[in-house]
Structure 1
């Protein structure tokens, strides 16, 4: 084979973990200039020969743990793989493109979005919260904060009662209770303790506590129980009477604003900051377990319980994949290029091990596979202004809020699966 221009044949073995798409395990001689499009044509022809049925399925191809995004010969050259060797190519059915659904119109920038089972909770720069159905019907507008809302999270939703929290630039966190049947909402507690705006919030996996990160550089942990005001016994009694809640723990360590907070498990928290660091906190020790230094301000991060990796969003337009378990060498596993403005928000899928979504100041959302650093799987278009928050808590819906005063909803489903609801 002429390695310079990729002309000639390459011997490949085609493998898949999806047994129903398996083809005979024999070496195939294919042209080195083949791309994903031509490989799809070739593979579908093999499947047709095997089953006798018409086949037109979109596949992606993994060559040495990375998706093929150009010519096979260029990919092999980049990886310094000999063209003389038989190359193993793994193929997987392509994740289907999320479908644009509703556009939820607000009166100001939408800076916080969180989806529960079928409700969408949003926080806005006009100081209000809003609840919507996942089909785009507006249910409730909730005033109470005195400055823009920066983060929201659901605590629980059962027996017709929804409980959630919101944090704001007004330096407070508010704990809410919503009676779904009567559509009445009340503020149960106001959480006071931060000295500057509260940018991030996360409810613990067991829904007993929540954590907040602020521009005052402090990480605080609060009780999420209905009747627990936090703090010590004396102040707790007084606090309960006036509806004020105080933190049960304050952790100091960051030097600048905390941009993201997330529970890894019930005693471990992940935070990121404008101070170029990521920290993993052990709450049982009330201290830092791991600190990861980067050379960029981090605006958001997401930890996956499926693969135990962290993906971060930064001002340099890139997303990065970190393995917090690595002790030697660089813990940056990959860098993802595709946005052309700073990346504001990122979140892993809760059901798909390799997939995550991001939103940026280039007005775009992108759906990524962590094995494809050179290009996203899909651009999710619709916003006319910068994207401020994105959420994929409910596997069926990707929702994002933006400075165009809208929430965009994209329906997502697994490859090859169609439910009655989809039809």
Structure 2
């Protein structure tokens, strides 16, 4: 039965799931074409109850796209016919993250980064702060002379941690935090950028890190600091903090580099206000490929799980790019929901479908890449624009904002998986 000719009518569907605990008999069902997701949810739970399976809430996918609205509307919007049995996948609904603590600062919070049970925050009062994921303040670290714009962990164990901070003061600093003594000191100051530094990311082996700046240059640095005798400052820090030059400088962007991320040991991703994303080959010290848009990129995030790039731009929309397309880098999907500029975006590290965004509309939004018209959840709490989001620890979605706060949301799913 063709949808354009049939009107609402009756249609045949087949329900299936990859979650074996909720599997139903593989038989077709006849339903009304005006069925809503809530109706399908009730149908499945009725069938599950007959098999003594505990009820749950589900979302529904047709051709790998979330069903939003009626089945007949979905068919019209996605140009598929009702002539054949419609395959509908059902997945357990991702639970809403729970609001946790609000971490108060003295100025805008422009950088957040979680590892293990610790959260690093960078602030417009030029300080770095360390917190527990339970909301306890641990340490304030002065050192920069202008706002801290980005942070990245280098290493962490029970005794000590190393991390990198970048600032509008044009410097990059490698820090050592003695956890037992709760003291921090700088190990190296990295100089070479001619304007404020906006982003940083540490390589997977923790031996190098990359920074992007308003001077339009991407620089690669070593995390290994050595004194005149060749002794490593990573192992035995000197009181005299040495200054280091970059290992490599990569030129190609024309405006501020707003995001940088290691894809692998020899490949870097960068996003810029010049409306381009560049993928760099470090072995060749040059550009491997490029994505061009008509909006400045404020943030980009690459997922090693699905090999896709999600972007935050100088408009209200998020865009999903596939840099591996045979037709060149193309937009796979556009996501609508924010009402002002989107400042920050990051993928889940454990689920290839999920990502988090933060915007000037004071909201964080949790998305599934298969749901383009609406996020899974709005994460409320900020009273001013969101400047940075982080999901490095699967248990915690963290954001910093111009309301001088960090907001923490706990993922119920990650908690249930890990417990």
The 10-residue stretch of structure 1 (327-336 or 66-75) with the greater mean CA deviation from structure 2 = 327-336
**Separation of aligned partners in 1, 2:299 and 2:417:** 32
Distance 1:99 1:416, change over 3 A: closer
**Separation of aligned partners in 2, 1:4 and 1:105:** 59
Offset of residue 9 of structure 1: 1.1
What pairs with 1:7-406 in structure 2 (closer than 5 Å)? 7-49=8-50, 51-53=51-53, 55-227=54-226, 243-328=242-327, 331-406=330-405
Distance 1:41 1:186, change over 3 A: same
Task: Name the residue aligned to 1:236.
Answer: none
SS in 1 for 2:416: coil
Offset of residue 191 of structure 1: 0.7
Distance 1:11 1:275, change over 3 A: same
The answer on whether the counterparts of 1:103 and 1:136 sit within 8 Å (CA) in structure 2 is yes
The answer on whether the counterparts of 1:171 and 1:194 sit within 8 Å (CA) in structure 2 is yes
Offset of residue 6 of structure 1: 4.8
Offset of residue 31 of structure 1: 1.1
SS in 1 for 2:407: strand
Distance 1:415 1:162, change over 3 A: closer
Normalization by structure 2: what TM-score? 0.94
**Separation of aligned partners in 1, 2:304 and 2:5:** 43
Offset of residue 165 of structure 1: 0.5
Task: Name the residue aligned to 2:233.
Answer: none
**Separation of aligned partners in 2, 1:123 and 1:419:** 29
**Separation of aligned partners in 2, 1:22 and 1:170:** 57
Provide the aligned length of Structure 1 versus Structure 2: 409
Offset of residue 30 of structure 1: 1.0
Segments of structure 1 that go 5 or more residues without pairing to the other structure are: 230-238
**Separation of aligned partners in 2, 1:225 and 1:120:** 23
The answer on whether the counterparts of 2:290 and 2:329 sit within 8 Å (CA) in structure 1 is no
SS in 2 for 1:362: coil
Give the ranges of 4+ consecutive aligned residues of structure 1 lying more than 3 Å apart after TM superposition: 1-6, 239-242
The answer on whether the counterparts of 1:3 and 1:73 sit within 8 Å (CA) in structure 2 is no
SS in 2 for 1:28: strand
SS in 1 for 2:68: coil
**Separation of aligned partners in 2, 1:376 and 1:370:** 9
Map Cα deviations across residues 72-129 of structure 1 (whole Å, 9 max, x no partner).
1000111111122210001111111111000000000000000010100000000000
Map Cα deviations across residues 200-227 of structure 1 (whole Å, 9 max, x no partner).
0000000000000000000000001243
**Is 1:410 matched up with 2:397?**
no
SS in 2 for 1:417: helix
Segments of structure 2 that go 5 or more residues without pairing to the other structure are: 229-237
**Separation of aligned partners in 1, 2:346 and 2:154:** 18
SS in 2 for 1:95: coil
**Separation of aligned partners in 2, 1:165 and 1:4:** 62
The answer on whether the counterparts of 1:269 and 1:281 sit within 8 Å (CA) in structure 2 is yes
**Separation of aligned partners in 2, 1:161 and 1:228:** 20
Distance 1:285 1:416, change over 3 A: closer
**Separation of aligned partners in 1, 2:162 and 2:5:** 62
**Separation of aligned partners in 1, 2:118 and 2:212:** 25
